Structure 1
């Protein structure tokens, strides 16, 4: 079970840089192709929520989709929560950190990039890369 992290907007604003706060807490999006992890493909390690440090994705689940944002096809079990997002006149699946509800990006399905048929399109400013495995072994799964 993921440990919940609850903070006020003022606390988040104090801890996060302006762009990360706008994306994680206000559901913003960084411009395509600008994120530090878009073309970063480590062989080992994992990615955590930049807001709370919750482990989200293994480096092995990251792939090059060419979409302009980091893409993952699996997440750690229980790491994410999803909601239907109807902004911009379309139906999308929003992905958020399961510990702090921070906005990560959106899931796109059935595109055929990987066997899971999922592409988690994640904002680089929402995550941090960590070398090595997560502190405790975590199982990966298809997330939606």
Structure 2
């Protein structure tokens, strides 16, 4: 029984790291704005770099933008492209700025399997910076989507 258990665990470990999984370099998409890691590190704060370039997540309720109700546009903190309008922002209660829609064409989507299940990841279509994830539990009266975004990945530009 012990031998069977040991063989099963070893098989599981090897199957989770198969050649079918592509390396980070193979998955790289070309974006209009491309910079080296050194350049990004010079331009972004350590927390911005962690979220935008390493697909990290900020602590919930840590962003001032979570409760921001000022009219304006939310831009990518890395490349400054407009991503979300304040009129589409809502309080999801999750601790991260949430929107029911994006500015079309400026946000791209992919899959994130880091937690053992698939989630729809959002990233800037201009520089590839990780923004957050999109879920299907948003306001039913509008799109039904909740774009759950790291505030540190955003730069808010108030309306004039």
TM-score by length of 2: 0.77
Note the C-alpha offset of 1:132.
2.0
Paired residues in the alignment total 129
Deviations for 1:70-100, whole angstroms, at most 9, x for unmatched residues?
Answer: 0001111101110011111121000000100
More strand as a share of residues: 1
Identify, as 1 or 2, the structure richer in helix.
Answer: 2
Give the one of 103, 119, 123 matched to 1:92.
119
Q: Is 1:113 paired with 2:136?
A: no
Matches for 1:1-144 after TM superposition, within 5 Å: 4-42=32-70, 44-109=71-136, 111-114=137-140, 115-132=142-159
Q: Higher relative contact order by CA 8 Å / sep ≥ 6: 1 or 2?
A: 1
Question: RMSD of the alignment, in Å?
Answer: 1.3
TM-score (norm 1): 0.86
CA contact (8 A) 2:112 2:121 kept: yes
- Unaligned regions of 5+ residues in structure 1, if any? 134-144
Q: Based on CA coordinates, which of the two structures has the bigger radius of gyration?
A: 2
Change (3 A) 1:112 1:129: closer
The structure 1 segments of at least 4 consecutive aligned residues displaced by more than 6 Å after TM superposition are none
